Structure 1
Amino acid sequence: MGKKYQLEFLYRPGLRLSDEALADLVADVRAVAATCFKEIPDYQVMRGTRKELSDKVLSLARRENGQLAGFCSAVLLPVENVGDVLHLGLTCVRPEDRGAKLTHLLTSKVVLNYLLRRKPVGRTWISNCACVLSSLGNVAVHFDGVYPSPLRNQPPTETHRQIARTIDREHRDKMYVMPEAVLDEEAFVFRGSVNRTVFQKEKSDRRYHHRVADLNAYYQGLLDFENGDEALQIGHVSLLTSFRYFMKKRRLRVALQSQVPQPEYP
C-alpha cells in the first residue's frame, strides 16, 4: 500500500467520548472534509454536536504521525418494525491519500465491525443516497438485495418501500436531502435532492464514474444530473456476505473486467 495507516472504529461516539475527545475528533474530521469540499456542508459529523455524533458509526484512518487521512461516517436510522438501518453515509479521504484504496477500507471497516459487534447473526438493512456513480455501483455489487440496481430483476419488497418512505418522512436531514426534493417511489430517486449544493455532480465527470460502464449507464438513466437527483438504494448485508464481498474483492474485480456480474445471494 506504500503508506501505512492505523484504522479505528467508533460506535456512537457522542454517547461515549469525553468533551475533549469529541472536540478533537470533530476537528480532525472537519480538517479532512475541508480537503474534499470547497465549503464544508452543515451536515453529519461536521456539525460537531454530541447529539449529531450519537447515532454515528465511524471508521478512521490515521497516518503513522497520527494525522487523520480519511473517515467513513455511517448513520443508524430507526425504522419501525425493521430496527436500525445502517445508512452508509459519508466517506472523505484527503487527496494525497486517495491512491491507498482507503474508501474501500474505511467502508468495509464500518460494515464488518458493526456486524461483528451488533448483528453477528441475520441480516442488517442498509441504505445509500448518492449521485456519485462509483458509490452507486459499488453498493449494487457489494451488498445483497439492492434496489435500484441492474443486478436485481425484481421489484422492491414492502420492506424496501417502508424504509424508503421512513427516510423520506423522518431522516432527510441525515442525508442532506433538500426539503423541496420529491421521492419518486417507483424509481427510488430523490428528484432535486442536491440541486445547487456542494454534492451535485455532472453526468460527464469521469472522476466519479464506476469502472464498469454498464453500471454507469444504468444509474445515468435513472438520474437527471442537472436537476440534482440522487438514487436512494436500499439493500441488506450479513456477516457472511460481508466477508464474501469485502475479503474476496480481488476475485470480484476479475469478473468485473469484462461484464457486470450476476448477484450471489446467501
Structure 2
Amino acid sequence: MIDPDNRSKGLVWILYGLTVVIMFCRHRLKPIWISNVTQVPAIVGLFSEGFDSVYPDALKDSRRTFDHISLVRQIMLNHRHMFGVGHEAEFDEKSFIIKNAYTGGSNNLLKSWDEVAKHRNDQVNNFCSERLDYNRGDDFIQIAKLDFFNLQRYIIRVVPIKSLAMILNNIILVILQSILLPIYYWFKSDTSTMDLKPGR
C-alpha cells in the first residue's frame, strides 16, 4: 500500500516491477508465472497492463487456461494464509474471485469502494466495481506470465528514464551471478553441488 501523498512518484515500479525483474533474471530469463491478490482497481489494472496471459484481465477478454486453473488451485490450497485469506473464504474458480477474503488476519486491509485507489482507465474501475462485492470483502486473484519480450515492454513503458541505467546494471549483475557462481562452486573442492559433485 502506497501512501496517497506519495502516489504517482515512480514507487510502484520499485515495489513491484523491480522485484519481478530480479526474480526473472535469477530464473535465467526463463518465463515465470506471477500471481496478484487485490481488490484495488489501480493494482488490478497495473497487473493487466504489465504482463501476458493475464486471467482475469481487466482490459481485454482473456481465456482461462489449464495453467491458470492449476496454479490458482495450488495457491488457494497451500498458500492462502500468506496473503491473509482464512478458510472461511470461498473461491470462485470461474471468475477467480475470493469471496469474503479478509478473514485470515488481513481485516485491517479491507477497504470500501470509496477508499480504494482507482485506475486512470475507467474500464478497469468498472470491471472491479461490477464483479467485486466491497461490502463483503472480495478479492481478485490474477495469474499471469512474464517472458523476455514482455519484460522488454515493461521496462520501456514503466521504468523511469533516469532509472534505466541502474536497473540494467542490476540485470547484468544478476545474470553474471547466475552464470559465474555455479562455475565458482564447481571448482571449489570443499563445496558440494548435490549429485553433480559431492563435497570432499
- Which residue among 108, 114, 125 is the counterpart of 1:198? 108
Q: Deviations over 1:96-132 (max 9, x none)?
A: 64452212222111111111122313x2111001001
Amino-acid identity (%):
27
TM-score normalised to the size of structure 1?
A: 0.55
Q: How many residues align?
A: 157
What residue number does 1:188 align with? 96
Give, in angstroms, the shift of residue 243 of structure 1: 2.1
Distance 1:135 1:148 in 2: 13
Distance 1:93 1:203 in 2: 17
What residue number does 2:147 align with? 238
- Which residue among 34, 41, 50 is the counterpart of 1:133? 41
Contact map agreement 1:142 1:246 (CA 8 A) in 2: no
Which ranges of structure 1 fall in alignment gaps of 5 or more residues?
A: 1-91, 251-266
Q: Deviations over 1:128-187 (max 9, x none)?
A: 010011011110111111111133424310110011111111110111112210000111
Q: Deviations over 1:184-212 (max 9, x none)?
A: 0111000000168111111133x511111
Contact map agreement 1:146 1:152 (CA 8 A) in 2: no
What residue number does 1:217 align with? 126
Say whether residues 1:170 and 2:78 are aligned partners: yes
Q: SS state of the match for residue 232, structure 1? A: strand
Q: SS state of the match for residue 24, structure 2? A: helix
Say whether residues 1:156 and 2:64 are aligned partners: yes
Distance 2:48 2:4 in 1: 25
- Choose 1 or 2 for highest CA Rg: 2
RMSD: 2.1
Say whether residues 1:143 and 2:51 are aligned partners: yes
Q: SS state of the match for residue 210, structure 1? A: coil
Which ranges of structure 2 fall in alignment gaps of 5 or more residues?
A: 160-200
What residue number does 1:102 align with? 11
Larger relative contact order (Cα-Cα within 8 Å, sequence gap ≥ 6)? 2
Contact map agreement 1:111 1:242 (CA 8 A) in 2: no
Runs of 4+ in 1 over 3 A off after TM superposition: 92-99
**1:117 is matched by which residue type in structure 2?**
R
Distance 2:119 2:13 in 1: 13
- The structure carrying a bigger helix percent of its residues is 2
TM-score normalised to the size of structure 2?
A: 0.71
